[in-house]
Structure 1
């Protein structure tokens, strides 16, 4: 994941070659800032381009305002190879379906 072209894991230039967060299926992740250590983050804050973290820390404004995310499949899994039932379900899916109501457990 990147914000303003900077990797949220270390606050340096983003790259798909860097390690990132691994998220289990059905789970969520909140990223509150650029990680500066195992215990601390530099919080995300809206600012002018000139006062952006990217400009102040690295002297670049090229990707200010850009939020990026690279998603990879599990090694050996072909995400484009689905069975007929999966294709039917995807073709029938509504693009903006309502979120399901979660039952209290």
Structure 2
């Protein structure tokens, strides 16, 4: 049950941040992960001994989750900086 957060975490971060370019980058990462998982599934289907190893896509899922959490942690600071810049620019 706890594994679902690794898959849904980046999507939740996309909905929180709501930036089009950021969302497209994460969508590209999801597509790359899907292709990697499809490749692994077809490889296991043809060669059952190929399970795991260096082509295991779940290792990338952890990296993807950590990347999304880091982006979520940086987001408030970027939003605050943008707010301060616009506040200073509007006073001039």
As a proportion of its length, which structure holds more strand?
1
Between 1 and 2, higher relative CO (CA 8 Å, sep ≥ 6) is seen in: 2
TM over 0.5: no
Structure in which a larger fraction of residues adopt helix: 2
Q: TM-score, normalised by structure 1?
A: 0.19
TM-score normalised over the length of structure 2: 0.21
